[in-house]
Amino acid sequence: MTGGEVAAAITRAHREEWARVVATLTGRFGDLDTAEEAAAEAFATAVERWPVDGVPPRPGAWLTTTAQRKAIDRIRREARRAEKHREALMLSDTPEPTGTARPTGALDDDRLRLLFTCCHPALAVAARIALTLRMVGGLTVAEIARAFLVQETAMSRRITRAKEKIKVAGIPYRVPSREDLPARLSGVLAVLYLVFNEGYLSSEPGQEAVRGDLTAEAIRLTRLVRALLPEDGEVAGLLALMLLTEARRPARVSADGELVPLDRQDRRAWDRDLIAEGHALVRARLASGLPPGRYQLLAAVNAVHTDARDARHTDWSQIVELYDQLVRLDPSPIVRLNRAIAVAELDGPQVALAQVDGLPLDGYHAFHATRADLLRRLGRSGEARAAYDRAIALAGNAAETAYLTRRRDDLPAGP
């Protein structure tokens, strides 16, 4: 196996196994710091050993075993009393720590338990999301900081404080009882949505445009949450949203690595099975007669897009109406930005630009990309070029950068 193939195997193992290794160690040792540090050491050891010894036939098992040994070594090094040392010896000789019962939940899944642990209501909502993106999603601190539009150092402190809070408060590692689930649900769904979005269009420089490992894991965990709460409309809505978005992934990036916008995608490449499942979930929620929540409305927007046989037949009036409902629930600048994009198709770019200008999103690349497109359509090439430059500087995804660069370079000369 070549060096490049080994490096690719390590990268793949990190994406596929990080959450599983961290979750397994958290369940065994009961400490997020120990789990994360031991997992990181195991992957560092893989970087050293696999090029020499070869990639093991079961990378996940190798990494888990190595991480467990690293954790035990850490406990031994930090031991200050004989009891701590005896505890470490017992850990090394038994499948589970003596006297420690494995936490049980409605579903026996380590990553689901870790997800709910990180989303405990004792933590602030932003801390829940950030911690879970790191521990369950395996995202870097830099990726999470970009998702929150904050500085990396600030995000690192937020994650550290969240882990300390879990330790000090003795928050249990388990899926909560059914009556406790609603208190955790909003944070869990927000995390899953952000993990999915990071996979669908990675913000990390050097990553490929789409990370199927993250989108697949987000969908898998959302299905498990739905099995816990089959009647919850927002869980169903989030699953539908993910499925309808994931269905378009095969057409998302061109053969030469450039982002393909929705109106130019080859719809024959879309996954019709995922679309059918997503549409069925949306229809079932509409038939319930209950007021839709945020994820249900976003799923309905995507259902309209995926129902149109081509971009020209998109029902933009219905999409604007759905965004009107969404703004009433969530009047955030990003929701208003997305509504303005739909307004541009219905009422023209001048009306949309008036709604976009003034939104407090200067650090968000999609804001500048939207302005650039609206200015281009209005023939204001000089302003469009400046907006494209700003979007390119902020975009972390290579495929998106390539698309924006081409659009900028295709602008006619002049003001």
Question: In this structure, is residue 341 part of a structural domain?
Answer: yes
What tens digit of pLDDT does each residue of 23-32 get?
Answer: 889 888 888 8
What Å distances lie between residue 161 and 123, 168, 297, CA to CA? 9, 10, 34
State whether 79 and 128 are in the same domain. Answer: no
pLDDT interval class at 16 (50, 70, 90): confident
Is 269 part of a structural domain of the chain?
no
CA–CA separation, 62 and 28 (whole Å): 16
Q: What is the tens place of the pLDDT at every residue in 217-276?
A: 889 889 989 988 899 999 999 999 999 999 999 999 999 989 999 999 999 999 999 999
**DSSP state for residue 230 in the 8-state scheme:** T
**Is 85 in the same domain as 141?**
no
Query: Domain of 42: which CATH number?
Result: 1.10.1740
Domain count, the chain: 3
Higher pLDDT, 353 or 3: 353
Residues 86 and 132 in one domain: no
Question: What is the C-alpha separation between 225 and 125, in angstroms, rounded?
Answer: 18
Instruction: Pick the more confident residue, 105 or 281.
Output: 281
Question: Which tokens hold the place of 389?
Answer: 């430059």
Q: Which residues contact 243 (CB under 8 A, 6 or more apart)?
A: 219, 274, 275, 277, 278, 281
Same domain flag for 135 and 224 = yes
Same domain, 21 and 65: yes
Q: What is the pLDDT of residues 123-164, one digit of tens each?
A: 887 888 888 888 887 878 887 887 777 899 999 999 999 999
**35 belongs to a structural domain:** yes
pTM of the model: 0.77
Contact 290, 275 (CB under 8 A): no
pLDDT at 269: 97
Question: What CATH number did the domain enclosing 358 receive?
Answer: 1.25.40.10
Could you tell me which of 23, 329, 334 has the C-alpha nearest to residue 148? 334
Q: In this structure, are residues 243 and 219 in contact, taking their beta carbons and an 8 Å threshold? A: yes
Expressed as residue numbers, the domain containing 113 is 109-171+181-199+210-229
132 and 223 assigned to the same domain: yes
Helices (DSSP H) in 119-259: which residue ranges?
125-135, 141-148, 152-169, 181-200, 212-228, 233-246
